[in-house]
C-alpha cells in the first residue's frame, strides 16, 4: 500500500503537550456563567468549594487564562497511555474509494476504553493535592466511572461511584473493572442517600437515571468529611483537560505538514469534541486559520440540532447550578439508545456558545446507520469502535463519500474516542437486525422544553 504519511503518527514522549489550552480565552463571546439555583446570581468560587475541589473551581471559572501548566504528576500518568496515535485511515479510504484523506485521533488504547481518563487523572490529582480522602461520581455507560477508578487507584484515593441501576445490572463487567481498581460501586438509586431513599419510596422498582445518580453522588460528597464530587463531561474544566487530545493531534499534523479541512466529533456532554477541536478553534477564533467543525449527536437525543439555548438544570434532581446551554430540558428522557455516553439532555456551555455564534455546525444521525458505519470501520481498520465514537465515523464516511462524488481531496479529522468492548449487547442487536431507531417527536420536545426554569439572562 502506498503511503505518503505513516499509518500511525506517535509523538515522542517529550513532545506530549505540557500545558492545557483554554479555548475560552480566545472566545469573544464567553460562555454564560453558572447560576446559583436559589438566587439565580452567577456562582462564586466559594459557593462551589463544598462540591468541587478548589483548584478545579478556579479552572471552571477562568475565562481568560489561555494556558494552564499540566502538573508533573499528571504528565507522569499521561506517559502511561499517551501519546495516543493520529491514524491515517488508509484502509477506510480504500474501502470507500474516496479521494478524501481521512485521519482519526484514537483515544481508546487504555483500560477505561476512552478519552475520559484525560480528565479523570487531573481531577483525582487536584483532589489528592487538596488532601481529600476521596471523590464521588456517577456513571451511566461506565467509561467515566472506570477512568475515575483507575485515576483514584493511582493516587490512592477512595472512589465512590453511583452507577445507574439498569447499567449496573446490564454491564456487570464494567462494574467489575471498577472494583478491580478498588472503587466502591453502588447501584443508583440506593438506600445510602436521602435522595435515593426518597426516590425508591416514590418509585419502587425504578432502574434509575443519570440525574438521580448525580444527585446521590453530590449528596454523599457534600455530606462526607474530605470528599468532593467530580464530573466527566459538560464542565469547562473537563474541556480544558481534554484539550490534550486536540493539542496532540495538532502537533502530529504539524509534524506531517498536513492541515485538516474538517474536524468531526461525537457530542454528548461535549468533553471529547471540545477537547479535540480546542486548538483548531483557537486558530479560527484568532483568525489564523479556518476549519469546518461538525458536532455529531444521536437523533434520539439532539440537544444542538433541536434543543433550545437557555439556562437549564444540569441534573434532574435540580441540585446543581444552572448552566446556559443547548438543552432538551432536564426532564427529557432519551429512549432506547445504546450510545450511553451521548444521552445527556444538555451540552457544554463552551460548545453551546461556539455553536450559537456559528463557529461550528451540528448534525444528528440515527442509530442503525451509526452501527452500519461502526461495522464497516471495524472490518477495514481493525478497531471495534464504541457506539459513541461511531457517530463521528458515520459522518466522516458520509463526508468522504461526498468527496468521491465531487472529486474533492478534503482532509478529514475525526475523534475516535473509544472502543466498544463493553458494548457488545448493542452490537448483538445490530447483528441480529433487531436494532431500531427512535426520534423524539416535536411534541415530546415541546413538553420537556416547557419546563425550563425561568431565567432572564
Binding site for its own copies (CB under 8 A): 1, 3, 6-8, 10, 12-13, 72, 76-77, 79-81, 91, 109-111, 113, 150, 153-154, 172-173, 176-177, 179-182, 375, 378-384, 419, 421-422, 424, 427-428, 431
Between 48 and 150, CB nearer to its own copies: 150
DSSP letter, residue 406: H
Between 332 and 427, CB nearer to its own copies: 427
Q: Which helix (H) or strand (E) holds 36?
A: none
Shortest Cβ distance from residue 325 to its own copies (Å)? 33
**Whose CA is closest to 92, among 401, 431, 420, 408?**
401
Shortest Cβ distance from residue 407 to its own copies (Å)? 26
Burial category of 182 from C-beta neighbours within 10 Å (exposed 0-12, middle 13-18, buried 19 and up): middle
Ranges of beta strands (E only) in 165-242 are 184-188, 227-229
**Whose CA is closest to 105, among 393, 362, 454, 330?**
393
**Whose CA is closest to 388, among 370, 401, 372?**
370
Shortest Cβ distance from residue 99 to its own copies (Å)? 20
Between 77 and 313, CB nearer to its own copies: 77
Residues 6+ positions from 47 with CB-CB distance below 8 Å: 36
Between 61 and 380, CB nearer to its own copies: 380
Shortest Cβ distance from residue 214 to its own copies (Å)? 26
Between 421 and 451, CB nearer to its own copies: 421
Shortest Cβ distance from residue 160 to its own copies (Å)? 17
Contact between 359 and 352 (Cβ < 8 Å): no
C-alpha 188/C-alpha 205 separation (Å) is 11
Between 323 and 383, CB nearer to its own copies: 383
Between 151 and 328, CB nearer to its own copies: 151
Shortest Cβ distance from residue 16 to its own copies (Å)? 10
Shortest Cβ distance from residue 123 to its own copies (Å)? 16
C-alpha 345/C-alpha 274 separation (Å) is 17
Distances (CA, A) of 124 to 69, 177, 227, 233: 16, 18, 11, 15
Shortest Cβ distance from residue 175 to its own copies (Å)? 9
Compute the radius of gyration of the chain from its Cα atoms: 21
> End-to-end CA distance of the chain, in Å?
57
Residues 6+ positions from 141 with CB-CB distance below 8 Å: 167, 171, 174, 340, 341, 388, 422, 423
Between 9 and 237, CB nearer to its own copies: 9
Between 219 and 388, CB nearer to its own copies: 388
Shortest Cβ distance from residue 430 to its own copies (Å)? 8
CB atoms within 10 A of CB 437: 15
Any idea what the Cα angle at residue 36 is, between residues 34 and 41, rounded to 5°? Answer: 85
Amino acid at each position: 500500500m502506498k503511503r505518503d504519511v505513516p499509518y500511525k503518527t506517535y509523538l515522542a514522549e517529550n513532545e506530549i503537550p505540557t500545558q492545557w489550552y483554554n479555548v475560552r480565552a480566545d472566545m469573544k463571546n464567553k460562555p454564560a456563567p453558572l447560576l446559583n439555583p436559589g438566587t439565580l446570581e452567577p456562582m462564586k468560587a466559594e459557593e462551589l468549594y463544598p462540591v468541587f475541589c478548589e483548584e478545579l473551581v478556579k479552572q471552571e471559572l477562568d475565562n481568560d487564562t489561555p494556558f494552564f501548566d499540566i502538573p508533573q504528576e499528571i504528565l507522569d500518568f499521561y506517559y502511561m497511555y499517551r501519546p495516543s496515535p493520529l491514524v491515517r485511515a488508509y484502509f477506510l479510504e480504500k474501502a470507500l474509494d474516496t479521494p478524501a484523506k481521512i485521519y482519526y485521533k484514537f483515544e481508546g488504547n487504555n483500560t477505561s476504553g476512552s478519552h475520559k481518563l484525560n480528565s479523570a487523572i487531573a481531577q483525582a490529582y487536584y483532589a489528592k493535592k487538596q488532601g481529600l480522602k476521596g471523590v464521588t461520581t456517577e456513571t451511566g455507560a461506565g467509561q467515566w466511572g472506570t477512568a475515575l477508578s483507575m485515576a483514584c487507584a493511582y493516587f490512592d484515593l477512595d472512589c465512590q461511584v453511583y452507577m445507574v441501576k439498569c447499567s449496573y445490572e446490564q454491564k456487570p463487567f464494567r462494574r467489575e473493572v471498577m472494583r478491580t481498581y478498588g472503587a466502591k460501586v453502588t447501584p443508583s438509586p440506593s438506600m445510602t442517600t436521602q435522595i435515593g431513599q426518597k426516590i425508591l419510596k416514590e418509585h419502587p422498582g425504578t432502574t434509575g437515571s443519570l440525574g438521580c445518580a448525580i444527585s446521590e453522588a453530590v449528596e454523599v460528597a457534600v455530606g462526607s468529611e474530605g470528599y468532593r464530587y467530580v464530573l466527566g463531561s459538560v464542565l469547562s474544566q473537563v474541556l480544558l483537560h481534554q484539550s490534550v487530545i486536540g493539542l496532540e493531534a495538532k502537533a502530529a499534523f504539524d509534524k506531517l505538514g498536513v492541515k485538516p479541512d474538517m474536524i468531526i466529533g461525537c457530542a454528548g456532554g461535549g468533553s471529547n469534541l471540545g477537547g479535540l477541536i480546542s486548538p483548531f478553534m483557537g486558530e479560527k477564533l484568532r483568525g489564523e486559520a479556518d476549519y469546518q467543525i461538525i458536532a455529531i449527536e444521536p437523533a434520539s437525543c439532539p440537544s444542538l440540532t433541536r434543543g433550545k439555548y437557555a439556562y437549564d438544570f444540569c441534573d434532574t434532581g435540580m441540585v446543581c447550578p444552572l448552566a446556559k446551554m443547548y438543552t432538551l430540558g432536564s426532564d427529557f428522557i432519551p429512549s432506547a439508545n445504546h450510545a450511553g455516553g451521548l444521552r445527556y439532555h444538555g451540552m457544554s456551555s463552551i460548545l453551546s456558545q461556539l455553536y450559537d455564534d456559528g463557529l461550528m455546525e451540528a448534525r444528528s444521525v440515527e442509530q442503525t446507520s451509526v452501527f452500519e458505519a461502526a461495522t464497516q470501520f471495524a472490518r477495514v481498520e481493525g478497531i471495534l469502535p464504541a457506539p459513541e465514537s461511531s457517530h463521528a465515523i458515520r459522518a466522516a464516511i458520509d463526508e468522504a463519500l461526498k468527496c468521491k462524488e465531487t472529486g474533492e481531496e478534503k482532509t478529514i479529522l475525526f475523534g475516535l474516542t473509544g472502543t466498544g468492548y463493553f458494548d457488545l449487547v448493542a452490537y448483538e442487536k445490530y447483528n441480529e437486525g433487531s436494532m431500531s431507531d427512535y426520534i423524539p417527536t416535536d411534541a415530546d420536545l415541546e413538553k420537556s422544553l416547557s419546563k425550563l426554569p425561568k431565567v432572564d439572562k
